[in-house]
Structure 1
Amino acid sequence: MEKLENFLSSKLLPISQKLQQNKVLAALMEGFIRTSPITLGIALITIVGNFPVPGWTDYLTKIGIYPHVEAITNGATGVFSIYVVYSLAYSYAKQLGTNERNAALISLASFIMLMPQTISTIVVENGKNVDQVISGLRLDYLGGQGLFIGMITALLVTRFYAFLTKKNIMVKLPDSVPPMVTQSLAPAFVVTIIFVLVFILRVLFGLTASGSVFQFFIDVINAPLNSLVASPLSIIIIMELLAVLWFFGIHNAVLQGPLGAISMTMVVSNIAAFQQGQALPYLVPSVIYMGMYASGFMGFVTFFMIRSKSAKMKQLGKLSFIPSIFNITEPIMFGMPIILNPIFFIPQVFTQLIAGFVTWGLTTTILPVHLNPTMSLLPWTTPTFVKMPFSGGLNYTIIMVISMLIGIVMWYPFIKIADKKEYELELEAEKAKKQATDSQVVQAEIQA
């Protein structure tokens, strides 16, 4: 393992360092890290509100608590794209040497301007259901489904803002005007140009069948997958695509159409067959799905982080450990970050792919599983190491352990590499701080 770590370090670290010198990648990593307090802060409420105990959510709903849990969760993760747009634009503007706050606000405004601002609903008039369109912003696009478009908007608008600003297309104000007022009013022409382009873009996408850039992107991603049916290969394709897209910051919610259709087909058909004592029609795809899911369990990743040398990774591991047990991965995905981090490309992209084919081979040969599909109705926060043993007994548990071991083997060396890099950066920062302190002491002694 040590030889592998040394080999990967010698090959990966130089590539990673070179890539991270890129202003866009540097801004993306900083932007995501700055949003981590939100994902960490919401974890406890999310876990308590969706605790994996039968009837718990119904009880919270009955006493009137669950709507408030949803409100808090939506206020954090439901509009997460807003935080990413602002944070990413701010970080990128800093990289470009332009006004961070202006760039962040303009990017955020452009993002919302591109968004559909009407919602179709049904109202009751004179005892009849009537279709009606009302003004409003959909949480879908403010949350996971809008994340990728938000990232692109932040980067493009900030880059264009910096370009126009350097062309001195600014409102000239006298020196007597306070700096805060000058900074707010000076870019009026620049903002006008940007908003006109946003308007044109909105109109052009409005002419498409999708109706907006958000839905257009989702339709393009979903199009090749909508024709897939539930099969071992289709499950592997979709789960692998989720892993790849997640690495690039495209949230799983974008694929909720085809994934939801396939997963519901499997769940409903399997439960119906199980209740009638028949063979499960989607047994193998269901087992593969959970095998791949188990390999993506992030609890062992946070455990490795807790044992690392780097103070940053150690602390982030401690904060992310409990959420990861309950399948809440956003703190580590955005906090490390894993998203768009070259060091973690291999484990993020290939771990579940390997686990999928291994699970497929095992369950169709030496480890046949007798599955209880009703366990799939447990809350999504149910720990994987609880759900799988109760769902399929010993063989399913063995498959779970093998899948998790694949995840451990895939992630461990890369966590060590990242830890080494972070630890070296912390030592350099500490050394620079000590030198600065010593210099101040010397200057103070000279002045004395």
Structure 2
Amino acid sequence: MNKFMEFLENMLLPIADKLNNNRYLTALRDGFMVALPLIIFGSIFVVIANFPFLDKLLGEDAYTAYQNALGPASAATLSIMGLFVIIGIGYKLTQSYGGEAIYGGVVAVAAFLILNPQELDGVTGVIPTAILGAQGMFLGIFTAFIAAELYRYFVNKNWTIKMPPGVPEAVSRSFSALIPITLTLSVFLVIRILFSFTPFDTVQNFIYTIIQEPLTALGSSLPATILAVLLCQIFWFFGLHGQIIINSVFDPIWYTLNDENLKAFQAGTELPNVITKQFIDTFLVGMGGTGMTLAVILLIFLIGKSRQVKELGKLGGPAGIFNVNEPIIFGLPIIMNPLAIFPWLLAPVVVTAVTYFAMATGIVPKPAGIIVPWTTPIGISGFLATGNSWRGAVLQIVNLLIVMAIWWPFLKIMDKNYYENEKAKK
């Protein structure tokens, strides 16, 4: 066991350290965080607009009018979430270099719009909203990175207009950004023109066909999801924030899949994806935090005898209800604990497989694309994430029991060791 742990530590820690400190992955993660409040706002109104049995109570016409009245809330947030993510990435990346962050954000958006079609159904001067959501996510991410870097490059070359003293600061900053922004956007305009001579016509079509579709298909598979979950658990075991590391890579894929489900849910058609952002956040993380440690807390109250474990249960219980589990991870401890590594790695993998097959076979509805805040307690989150289905809540309870069964013998051993040590010290 010690040799195995040493092997994992030597192999994974350098990789995790590089990922954790990577400027681009950090900007990507923070960019999604910028969009998160808007995404949650839109999700709340999707839930309100789709309360169960409301169509029976209001009648068909009144229910349609009710949904149409609330529709702009999600259309202006969830449906164009890619736009907010692009602003966030450009802003955060420029900020990390100490530049004028707001110009990094706006130049990223402008560059993205230049690369996209500006025509819909033969009408020019119209930007299709689909490209501002999931469909344009990958192009938006690449564009934000490149645009922010080009803007920084031109600023560092001092290709700026210097205004004389006495000019208001806001005016001076605008003129300082004029040449770098002009040069940056000119690069993207040239790229757009060049792609107009290719079979893809636009960069958006190229990225979507060559990169986004294959990656999305891969990310929606069970093996890829299990690998992501397993790596997250391994990083946490060594004291590294696995969620930050893994989500930085997989979030663009999971959010894209999430948005596809949301559109299908709103249209009343078959939901295309089992794996989505809410699959991870609600049925894995949303059960007491990473590793679903709410099950460990419940076991502590059921079988705990040692004072250390009992006090830990009291301390971690209230936080665990809202999916905050640092007291358990660091207090049990789980980090670098040989007795915890087996259930810590096995339980999320089993629950991932059970949840996937329950949804793939139709026993439980697939996630409806509704972003449920990660602090939402178990039961409520499962109900909301599956489009107000009680079966989503039941699946969470089943998953909780599975995790408890896996952890039972290992927690029993840990508690016994603590109890005997406490007795020996008396």
TM-score by shorter chain over 0.5: yes
Q: CA distance change for structure 1 residues 386 and 79 in 2, over 3 Å: closer, same or farther?
A: closer
1:301 aligns with 2:297: no
Structure 2 residue identity aligned to 1:298:
T
| Residues in 1 aligned to 2:33 and 2:216: alpha-carbon distance in whole angstroms | 34
Amino acid at match of 1:114: L
- Could you tell me which of 184, 187, 190 is aligned with 1:194? 184
Number of residue equivalences? 323
- Residue pair 1:20, 1:26 contacting (<8 A) in 2 also: yes
What is the CA-CA distance between 1:118 and the residue it aligns to?
Answer: 0.8
CA–CA separation in structure 2 for the residues paired with 1:59 and 1:319: 38
Distance 1:140 1:8 in 2: 43
- Aligned equivalent of 1:166: 156
Residue 355 of structure 1: aligned partner = 353
Give 1:301's aligned amino acid.
Answer: V
Residues 239 and 352, structure 1, Cα contact 8 Å, conserved in 2: no
Cα distance in 1, alignment partners of residues 175 and 405 from structure 2: 54
Contact 1:296–1:352, Cα closer than 8 Å, also in 2: no
Write the distance in 1 (CA, Å) between the matches of 2:67 and 2:73.
10
Counterpart selection for 1:213 from 190, 203, 213? 203
Partner in structure 2 of residue 184 of structure 1: 174
Give how far 1:140 is off.
1.0
Offset of residue 135 of structure 1: 2.9
Specify the alignment match of 1:65 in structure 2.
66
Structure-1 residue corresponding to 2:109: 108
How far apart in 1 are the matches of 2:98 and 2:49? 43
Task: Tell me which residue corresponds to 2:34.
Answer: 34
The alpha-carbon deviation at position 161 of structure 1 amounts to 0.9
Per-residue displacement from partner, 1:8-40 (whole Å, max 9, x unpaired)? 889766643442222222222222223222223
Decide whether aligned partners of structure 1 residues 303 and 135 sit closer, same or farther in structure 2, where only a CA change above 3 A counts.
same
Kindly indicate whether the alpha-carbon contact (under 8 Å) linking 1:295 and 1:352 is maintained by their aligned counterparts in 2.
Answer: no
- The one-letter amino acid of 1:148's match is F
CA contact (8 A) 1:35 1:83 kept: yes
Deviation at 1:46, TM superposition (A): 1.8
- State the superposition RMSD in angstroms: 5.6
Aligned to 1:148: 138
- Write the letter of the residue equivalent to 2:282: M
**Displacement of 1:398:** 9.1
Which segment drifts farther, 238-247 or 178-187? 238-247
Is the Cα–Cα contact under 8 Å of residues 23 and 95 in structure 1 kept in the other structure? yes
Query: C-alpha distance in 2, partners of 1:207/1:242?
Result: 39
In 2, the alpha carbon distance for the partners of 1:177 and 1:292 equals: 51
> In the aligned structure 1, how far is the partner of 2:112 from the partner of 2:179?
19
Q: Residue 298 of structure 1 aligns to a residue in which SS? A: helix
Match runs of 1:252-267 below 5 Å: 253=256
What SS is found at the alignment partner of 1:155?
Answer: helix
Please report the TM-score for the alignment, with normalisation by the length of structure 2: 0.57
Equivalent position amino acid for 2:23 in 1: K
Distance 1:157 1:63 in 2: 42
Which 5+ residue runs of structure 1 have no aligned equivalent?
121-131, 228-233, 269-285, 321-345, 361-368, 391-396, 411-448
* Candidates 110, 129, 132, aligned match of 1:139: 129
1:293, 1:87 → 2: CA distance? Answer: 19
**How far apart, in 2, do the equivalents of 1:83 and 1:154 lie?**
11
Q: Deviations over 1:57-86 (max 9, x none)?
A: 974864622113221101111111121111
C-alpha separation in 1, matches of 2:396 and 2:390? 9
> Which of residues 235, 247, 257 in structure 1 aligns to 2:250?
247
SS at match of 1:175: coil
- 1:155-195: CA deviations, max 9, x gaps? 11111111111111111221222221111012322222112
Residues 205, 211 of structure 1: 8 Å contact kept = yes
- Structure 1 equivalent of residue 51 of structure 2: 51
Q: Is the 8 A contact 2:279 2:367 kept in 1?
A: no
C-alpha change, 1:52 and 1:402, in structure 2 (3 Å) is same
Q: Residue 79 of structure 2 aligns to which amino acid in structure 1?
A: G
Residue 210 (structure 1) shift: 2.8
Identical aligned pairs, as a percentage? Answer: 20
Q: Is the 8 A contact 1:81 1:150 kept in 2?
A: yes
**Quick one: which amino acid aligns to residue 79 of structure 1?**
I
Question: Quick one: structure 1 residues 80 and 207, their matched pair in 2 at CA, closer, same or farther if it must change by over 3 Å?
Answer: same
The 2-side partners of 1:241 and 1:211 are apart by 36
Contact 2:137 2:256 in 1 (8 A): no
Amino acid at match of 2:30: E
2:233 aligned partner = none
CA contact (8 A) 1:114 1:198 kept: yes
Deviation, structure 1 residue 217: 1.7
* C-alpha spacing 1:294/1:48, structure 2 compared with 1 (3 Å): closer
Unaligned runs of 5+ in 2: 230-245, 298-311, 313-317, 325-343, 371-381, 408-426
CA distance in 2, matches of 1:409, 1:89: 44
String of CA shifts for 1:281-316, please: whole Å, max 9, x gaps: xxxxx9xx869999746245223139799xxxx989
The answer (yes or no) to whether the contact 1:117–1:135 under 8 Å persists in 2 is yes
**Structure 1 SS opposite 2:287:** helix
On the 8 A contact 2:222/2:356 being kept in 1, the answer is no
* Cα distance in 2 between the residues matched to 1:165 and 1:37: 31
| Structure 2 residue 94 is matched with structure 1 residue 93 | yes
Distance across 1 between alignment mates of 2:286 and 2:216: 35
Helix, strand or coil at the partner of 1:168: coil
